[in-house]
Structure 1
């Protein structure tokens, strides 16, 4: 039996039950804390008592062994020869040892038991919080021992009677020899009586310890009978409620637009659904591998946890359990995503069939466009260092992020060269440096990413190279550039123009061309300047980019070259 299978939808009840158990650990820790303090105070008082009577013993040792008036020539007396004094010394010493053991016991309770209980309680509370955090995430995604001691008064009273009797006999005696003999008998009888008292004292202490051990053995037996599974079943059996699986969600039509649950099967929808299907299948393949890896990881942790629980000396089972729970949470999320993508695949296949297997889908990757590039789908511009678009790494197809799912899943697996495609025979391998530098419409650019030429028409460049661009991107995604005495094609998205803003101006006012040599420009246009000395008050330029400041769209407009009034524009600032 388990909480998960028997107590459905009762996370709050289970959490309160577990939390109560953790709170009990804190109660038990407080109990140990108070018990340790009592043991410490007990040990301190016993040590003080032993110290007090040891001092008295040292002061009276000579008198108790040889009397107050020893022979004058006996300057050194071996007091340890007295069996009486030796016994008294041992009693004090062993009592002090017991006090020290009690002090150690108090320290053991504090360091080994109390702190361990604190650590366990803290760890269990952290784990509980993690479970509750995870449970909340899923809900959001889914909607001591007492001692007794007897008094020895009875034996003490008997000794007092015996001492009184001896005293009476002494009072009646008149013979000195008899008196000495009786005094000796009295002293010896006192020692015998005291020996008997000490014997009783030690036996009483032993009896207390034996009784304490019996109580501890009983507690240990009860502790060994603790069974967490039985306690869990008890909780389960007292908290069962009826449960019905929630119904599946069904399609709900809009209150203002009549619709059905069937997916639309027109050309545009099939393109979108085909791309959605391809993505879902790729995600399923990736998730299946990750889920299998997590499943093996969970199996290994469960075996390790069982081994540590059976033999705690092998390792910390709590640490393994914490890692196991974390991995199970990760596995649950992966499995949830797998079901989501599997549902998508099944729904799409049911609607349009499994058409993705015979199509070559694009392998789109996030791309940054540092110069204007035309979206091959909507024919508007992509420009910006943020990830605003995608490029197919197989065929070089460029598109906006918003256009990705609308691109027909037909990849040629070959990069298009547009009007830059050169044959091996017609492309010169060495380009004239003089010819390049004499041209006016050239730009300096820095290479952002390595590019290895796939064809003779391409140019191999490395990150950080400075190249000279003499033909910008015409919409194909490629520029023609010169580097190290060679010319060729380089991906436009792989380079960044230097001092770009000094070559561009922004149009302030609309202007309608008056002749074929002039340009028609509109406010907000961004124009690339190629010559500022065509005529006084006029600039010749290559109208290459249109910039919409509200939406940050920029694009190439057919490479049209013409003249325009210089006072109609202002330098473009970054």
Structure 2
């Protein structure tokens, strides 16, 4: 199958224009059906009037026509209608009335089809506009990275000039023998500043290149494929509406059978994929290549190479960037996975609605589906940018960060004089945007100094070891057009499964660990504050409770109790106290609320806390009900409380 993302690179604006034209065509055809309905309604009214006038005239002449002007015996008008001719005339007039009524009914049917087609076109037109706005947004985001690279280049050039000036002053001081130490110190500071500026510039180049590459290799192809899916839906909805109208007109008039049968047969021959192949044939560019990557440019008047600096100050800055990038990826990966599962569920729901229109309108689902895919694309760009920084930093300082204890800085307003832990200058009355504090260890610094602070937090956790390489997220094998290039994260293309799948269930906050749960220390930990406990690497500990703040309450083999960082403990062998998906109290405290839902599909429970569903059965909701969790509902069956996907049910009072 041809993919727009592969065959039509960098043609988002053209595809948006085509999608808009398709919706305009659907609107015009809806107007045509509305005008045809008005014509049928006018015809029905005029035919009814003609039939009524003919019946009145016939009734005035029925006796004379049936029995003559002067019959030998008295006869009523109703008796006169018993003649075979009058019976035939009565049948003809009745047939004419029926034709008028059928025309009025056809007008209502065509109006219904027209309204549905026009409403769908309006919805899809809004989707096209939102997709176009999102394309403009991601393009602006890519250009922002280019702008940041330009700014970093300017700062780098400026620092090079300042370093050269400091060097000249140092040489002059050495020649005069005056203020040599001060000049040397100034030169060293200028050199450190230049090295940091250079590293920042190189990182900005890497980020800009990665953002550019991700834009052309992932974001644009994904947007193209989604517009291709919208094309398929638009074509299917248009063909469905026109085919329905043709069927109504075919049933209305037998005399139009041949023409309307041809119309229905022609509708069956509409092939959206063939139309798309044709479009590609006349729009495919023969010579196109991705813009070349940006390369390092040395500062004017200052000789340097593109290698990153490895001084002590530079290594600290790079280590902080590395830790921050990895932490950001750790935040983004589960969000992206959740968004992907949400998109897969919506895609299955849309396919189910297309398969059976009685379940719902697929246009409504398409809007939510594309929202989820756009959010996924934006998050994947952030991951790609973080990966670029990680690669650059690891290339200089290496993979090992086992000795790092990163600070957890937060903005803070200092109302009393406080010393910056790095530059030793006083902070007082500085706004929270410009001053930071690590609350676990109490370290304070300027925001501008954060990148230079060594990651040696006294209360910090050691970072989790991550193998060298890029972050990889799982993908659904059902998406035929999903793209993967190396470690790139791509927006899933739209597929057409047969049924809505259960959404990813949100995991509630960790519960208190069950008594007698155990774990093994991955690292040694020395207590730094009151309430903590010292342990050795490899030591077995008993887990008492999780305070939900990154710390576990444990008891050592010697009987000492206290807190240790959660990331220091291997709990893989510890017994689970409570299922991670349903709070322990929920299974016993949830009560029926008297409201019921009807199961739309059969559903087989995947976990112990889920309920089986049988299509058509009634299930009573608990008080949490349809608001239990994102994509999940909670109910009661045979006295047992459990959860099930919301997309598999509908309220009992909703027809």
Normalising by structure 2, report the TM-score: 0.50
Please name the residue that 2:100 is paired with. 99
Alignment of 1:402-413 (within 5 A): 402-413=448-459
Q: Does 2:261 correspond to 1:217? A: yes
Aligned residues: 356
CA distance 1:345–1:59, shift in 2 (3 Å): same
Equivalent pair of 2:417/2:426 in contact (CA under 8 Å): no
Equivalent pair of 1:363/1:394 in contact (CA under 8 Å): yes
Please name the residue that 1:290 is paired with. 335
Q: Does 2:361 correspond to 1:316? A: yes
Please name the residue that 2:83 is paired with. 82
**Partners in 2 of 1:297 and 1:73 — Cα distance?**
83
Q: Which deviates further from its counterpart, 39-48 or 71-80?
A: 71-80
Indicate the SS of the match to 2:458. coil
Normalising by structure 1, report the TM-score: 0.57
- What is the Cα deviation at residue 263 of structure 1? 2.0
Please name the residue that 1:115 is paired with. 115
Equivalent pair of 1:360/1:411 in contact (CA under 8 Å): yes
**Partners in 2 of 1:25 and 1:83 — Cα distance?**
52
Alignment of 1:353-502 (within 5 A): 353-369=398-414, 373-377=418-422, 378-383=424-429, 387-413=433-459
**Partners in 1 of 2:135 and 2:78 — Cα distance?**
81
**Partners in 1 of 2:117 and 2:396 — Cα distance?**
59
Please name the residue that 2:141 is paired with. 141
Please name the residue that 1:131 is paired with. 131
CA distance 1:256–1:116, shift in 2 (3 Å): farther
Q: Does 2:53 correspond to 1:52? A: yes
Q: What CA deviation, in whole Å up to 9, does each residue of 1:41-79 have, x standing for no partner?
A: 211211110121122123333434444446787689644
Equivalent pair of 2:48/2:97 in contact (CA under 8 Å): yes
Equivalent pair of 1:382/1:388 in contact (CA under 8 Å): no
CA distance 1:73–1:60, shift in 2 (3 Å): closer
Indicate the SS of the match to 1:391. strand
Q: Which deviates further from its counterpart, 237-246 or 252-261?
A: 252-261
Equivalent pair of 2:421/2:445 in contact (CA under 8 Å): yes
Of 230, 237, 240, which residue of structure 1 is paired with 2:274? 230
Higher strand share: 1
CA distance 1:303–1:207, shift in 2 (3 Å): closer
Q: Does 2:322 correspond to 1:277? A: yes
CA distance 1:382–1:319, shift in 2 (3 Å): farther
**Partners in 1 of 2:273 and 2:78 — Cα distance?**
70
Q: What CA deviation, in whole Å up to 9, does each residue of 1:100-129 have, x standing for no partner?
A: 21122122212x222122112212211211
CA distance 1:279–1:75, shift in 2 (3 Å): closer
- What is the Cα deviation at residue 371 of structure 1? 5.2
Please name the residue that 1:5 is paired with. 6
**Partners in 2 of 1:71 and 1:211 — Cα distance?**
45
- What is the Cα deviation at residue 227 of structure 1? 1.0
Please name the residue that 1:261 is paired with. 306
- What is the Cα deviation at residue 387 of structure 1? 4.5
The structure with the larger Rg is 1
When the two chains are superposed, the root-mean-square deviation of aligned CA atoms in Å is: 3.0
Q: What CA deviation, in whole Å up to 9, does each residue of 1:198-256 have, x standing for no partner?
A: xxxxxxxx999334122111111110111111111111122221222332222122334
Indicate the SS of the match to 1:356. coil
Higher relative contact order (CA 8 A, sep 6+): 2
**Partners in 1 of 2:401 and 2:104 — Cα distance?**
78
